[in-house]
């Protein structure tokens, strides 16, 4: 009898916990939606104190760190995500950040811990242009053997979200490189124009070559057009040749 009561109480406790977690998750989603995020993917920490949502259509993210019952949101574009770090019991397992600086565990390399169990597994996110502290999204908060199904599932979820953040950061790095390349191209000084006197001298030399028979009139006109920057000359010359061929019956 007592065993049945204990088992029944345990089941009720687990069900009540699942219901509370579900309600909390809905509250996080509602807060993200109220902030203007059309959530396509989201995750809530196992402690139900932090959450992350992303909108893959608009390229925005929303971070939530609960303050009691309040769920203040931070909405920002992908490019503002500065770094993501996966940490297990204080050891950095994976890290990615803006600027491609070298970090332990960078580029998805999993740094294995020698411990046979873990207590805390968290994803730490840092956002640029903000004074807010990093957000720590907890996937594990109780001592758990690493050969257990619970640890395997939580670690897989943590890796998945780290990989997602890594993709976002990598894209932001590429966007920044493209912006810098465009800026550099705009700032590159244009080639100085050829002085008019030099152009006139070159045309005079071409005229002398034509007078001596070393250039035909057509060759002279072509070279002169190039010196004067007449980019339409070739098209006009081709049209004249075609017209001449049609009148004479000869191919142009």
Confidence (pLDDT) at 15: 42
pLDDT tens digit sequence for 103-146: 444 444 555 666 889 999 999 999 987 777 899 999 999 999 99
What confidence score (pLDDT) does residue 239 get? 58
Q: What pLDDT does residue 110 have?
A: 52
* Number of CB atoms found within 10 A of residue 43's CB: 20
Both tokens of residue 134?
A: 């990093």
Instruction: Please report how many Cα atoms fall inside a 13 Å half-sphere around the Cα of residue 137, on the Cβ side.
Output: 26
28 alpha-carbon distance from chain centroid? 25
State the chain's mean pLDDT as an integer.
Answer: 79
pLDDT digits 0-9 by tens, 59-102 = 999 999 998 889 999 999 999 999 999 999 999 999 999 875 44
Partners of 117 in beta bridges? 145
Adjacent-strand bridge partners of 249: none
Q: What pLDDT is stored for residue 217 in this prediction?
A: 82
Q: pTM of this prediction?
A: 0.65
pLDDT of residue 139: 96
> Does the pLDDT of residue 156 top 70, yes or no?
yes
């Amino acid at each position: 009898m007592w065993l049945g009561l204990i088992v029944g109480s345990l089941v009720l406790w687990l069900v009540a916990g699942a219901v509370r977690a579900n309600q909390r998750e809905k509250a996080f989603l509602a807060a993200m939606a109220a902030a203007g995020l059309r959530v396509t993917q989201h995750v809530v920490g196992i402690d139900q104190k932090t959450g992350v949502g992303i909108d893959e259509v608009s390229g925005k993210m929303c971070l939530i760190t609960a303050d009691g019952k309040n769920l203040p949101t931070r909405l920002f574009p992908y490019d503002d995500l500065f770094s993501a770090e996966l940490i297990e019991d204080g050891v950095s397992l994976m890290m990615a950040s803006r600027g491609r600086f070298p970090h332990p565990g960078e580029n998805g390399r999993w740094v294995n811990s020698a411990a046979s169990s873990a207590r805390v597994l968290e994803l730490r996110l840092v956002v640029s242009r903000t004074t807010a502290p990093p957000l720590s999204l907890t996937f594990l908060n109780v001592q758990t053997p690493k050969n257990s199904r619970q640890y395997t599932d939580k670690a897989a979820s943590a890796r998945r979200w780290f990989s997602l953040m890594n993709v976002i950061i990598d894209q932001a790095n590429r966007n920044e490189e493209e912006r810098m390349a465009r800026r550099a191209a705009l700032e590159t000084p244009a080639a100085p124009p050829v002085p008019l006197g030099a152009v006139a001298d070159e045309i005079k030399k071409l005229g002398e070559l034509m007078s001596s028979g070393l250039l035909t009139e057509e060759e002279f006109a072509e070279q002169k057009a190039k010196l004067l920057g007449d980019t339409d000359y070739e098209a006009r010359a081709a049209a004249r040749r075609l017209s001449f061929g049609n009148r004479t019956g000869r191919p142009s």
